[in-house]
Amino acid sequence: MAIVPKKSVDVLVVDDSSVWRNYLTKLLHSVDFQVTDLGTVYKAKDGTEAVAYLETKKIDIIMLDLIMPKMGGYEVLEYMKKNQLLSKISVIAISSITEAKDIVDVVKYNVPFIHKPFTFEIFTKILSQKELI
């Protein structure tokens, strides 16, 4: 019986904090991917950089901070929604926002949300709900 190779997923981590970009990248590399394989992890420091990656690279999933300078996460979501190809990319919103209204707004985009700070269990649980691990 032929062995079907696991799908490799390329991830774009978008956060204006270099600490969080590096931490999320480190977390991704520490997760035990079983359903898929972790491919390349790209990093962007704001929405404009994220959009540039989305237009030029094959991105399977975005870990998206919401409050960033220049172009925030909500604007990235709006940009993606208007593009037929980009609207198919999976997004996980990750933010420390504390206004319930802002969090409900994200959920209305049908994207999972992780509130900062979070635990490894919550992070992996969301990835498993996405059937990535």
Partner 1 sequence: MTVKLILDKNDLAAVRYANLFNLKKIAKDILLVEINDLSRVVQYMCDRKIKFGIYEN
Where on the chain is the footprint of partner 1 (CB under 8 A)?
Answer: 98-101, 103-104, 107-108, 110-115, 117-119, 121-123, 125-126, 129
Residue 41, strand partner residues: 11
Tokens of 11: 């991830």
Task: Compute the least distance from the CB of residue 92 to partner 1, in Å.
Answer: 9
From the CB of 20, what's the least distance to partner 1, in Å?
Answer: 16
Read out DSSP for 45-105? SSHHHHHHHHHHS--SEEEE-S--SSS-HHHHHHHHHTSTTGGGSEEEEEE----HHHHHH
133: three-class secondary structure by DSSP: coil
Compare residues 4 and 99 and give the one whose CB is closer to partner 1: 99
Q: How far is the CB of 113 from partner 1 (least distance, A)?
A: 4
* 5 or 117: CB nearest partner 1: 117
CB-wise, 27 or 53, nearer to partner 1? 27
What is the smallest separation between the CB atom of 49 and partner 1, expressed in angstroms? 25
Closer of 43 and 95 to partner 1 (Cβ): 95
> Is 124 buried (19+), middle (13-18) or exposed (0-12) by CB count in 10 A?
middle
Question: Under a CB-based contact definition with an 8 Å cutoff, are residues 106 and 113 in contact?
Answer: yes
